[in-house]
Amino acid sequence: MSSLLYNPPFAKRDQEQFLRELTELTHFQLEGCEEYRRMWPAWKCAVEVSQFPYIHVGAFKQIALRTVSETIKTGRVLRSSATTSGVSSRIVLDPKSSELQSRSSAAILADYIGCQQRPLVVLDSAIGLRAIGGLSARIAAAMSLRPLASDVMFLLRDSNDPNSMKWENIQRILDQEDELLVYGFTYMLWLAWAKNEIPERVRDILKAKRIIFVHSGGWKKLEAIKVSREELDTMLLATGGQGSKVIDFYGLVEQVGIVYPMCEHGYRHVPLWADILVRDSITLELLMNEPGQLQLVNTISWGAPYHNVLTEDLARIVPGKCQCGRHGKRFELLGRIPNVEIRGCANV
């Protein structure tokens, strides 16, 4: 159990405690997961975060990793959206980790949007919640806001159709509440809310409410149609009343429970129970203040070794203290490692 979770997420770091917890978790995972053990046959111990054994994010698409222990009861499988490769990552959830992850995401998000409860409107279909055995990344991301919600409403009839919004339902909530939390994958928030035709009556009511828009999932689809962050924010904020705001958070299904919202100064901050490293893709050496491959580490994932993941995202650790006042490491996300065309077949 991570004792660090009982502190405010962006208080001053206790790195020794973090290393102790990471060491315990790593040994637990190595003992319970044969595949992880085979990946790092020579690993014994570490004195720095960079020395702990990580798993490349792509491995979760190829191998069903699971940690076997008497204390772990595995349950549903969380699947990534598979937008890039067409193959989903599979993360085995377990009640112990889920409890920690839920506490973690709530604490992090509360630091950005406050901890008072308000209705949560999700731009997705509730069908995904009822799927047996599996859970999509979209639903999981939405559910990370659940602890901050007084009520949850799924607003899409069809999760893939931005024009299937049930505006009549939102009206019922708005009649009773002054504040509203709206979550959607970034492109869905653009299509279903910012660009959509909102019925006039609903539009008028929204104008008088404080809306906190929270989105995640990345910018790939919006970049393809040349929609900038500024444009998305402006369009969203134009639909809400005074005090409305937009929060963009970064997270992976392979790091469920750890979310990285962007602060008002454009940086993402690392909570006490997590750490990040940036590595050179060629040498795997650590980089500081230079773009490189992002590695995400946490102490709250027990059901499988997804506590230490080398991602395919590019980031830069930014030195110095952020003006937003949050302690600890901060970084900026720089997109994905550029994919190069693979030219093959020497049939010549």
The reply to whether 22 sits near another protein by the rule CB under 8 A is: no
**Which of 5, 30, 57, 194 is the binder for another protein (CB under 8 A)?**
57
Q: Is 259 left (phi over 0), alpha (psi -120 to 50) or beta?
A: beta
Helix (H) or strand (E) holding 135, with range, is strand 134-136
**Cα separation, 198 vs 6, whole angstroms:** 42
Query: How many angstroms separate the CA atoms of 261 and 268, rounded?
Result: 6
Size of the site for another protein (CB under 8 A): 32
CB of 241 to another protein, least distance (A): 44
With contacts defined by CB under 8 A, name the span among 67-75, 171-179, 197-205, 337-345 that binds another protein.
337-345
Closer to another protein by Cβ: residue 56 or 245: 56
Alpha-carbon dihedral 95, 300, 81, 68, rounded to 10 degrees: -60
Shortest distance, position 167 Cβ to another protein, whole Å: 37
The residue (of 105 and 255) whose beta carbon lies closer to another protein is 255
Which one of residues 105, 293, 298, 308 is an interface residue with another protein (CB under 8 A)?
293
- For position 341 contacting another protein by CB under 8 A, the verdict is yes
Q: Which is nearer to another protein, 132 or 282 (CB)?
A: 282
Contact between 303 and 76 under an 8 Å Cβ cutoff? The reply is no
Q: What are the beta bridge partners of residue 118?
A: 149
Please return the burial class of 306, using the count of CB atoms within 10 Å of its CB with bins 0-12, 13-18 and 19+: buried
Q: Binding another protein by CB under 8 A: which of 55, 100, 137, 296?
A: 55
Does 281 sit near another protein (CB under 8 A)?
A: yes
Residue 118 phi, psi dihedral angles, 5° rounding: -150, 165
Stretch that binds another protein, among 4-12, 173-181, 239-247, 277-285 (CB under 8 A): 277-285
Which among 12, 33, 16 has a CA at the least distance from the CA of 308?
33
C-beta of 132 vs 346, nearer to another protein: 346
Q: Vertex 269, ends 77 and 303: CA angle to 5°? A: 25
Under the criterion CB under 8 A, does residue 56 sit at the interface with another protein?
A: yes
Locus of tokens 């505006």: 167
Q: By CB under 8 A, which span of 173-181, 202-210, 224-232, 331-339 interacts with another protein?
A: 331-339
Write out the two tokens for 331.
């970084």
Single out the residue of 16, 41, 175, 230 in contact with another protein (rule: CB under 8 A).
41
Q: How many residues does the chain have?
A: 348
In the complex, minimum distance from the CB of residue 222 to another protein, in angstroms, rounded to a whole number: 22
Is 67 exposed, middle or buried (CB count within 10 Å of its CB: 0-12, 13-18, 19+)? buried
Residue 317 binding another protein, by CB under 8 A: no
345 binds another protein (CB under 8 A): yes
* Contact status: 347 vs another protein (CB under 8 A): yes
Q: Which residues bind another protein (CB under 8 A)?
A: 35-36, 38-39, 41, 55-59, 62-63, 65, 281-284, 293, 310, 312, 337-348
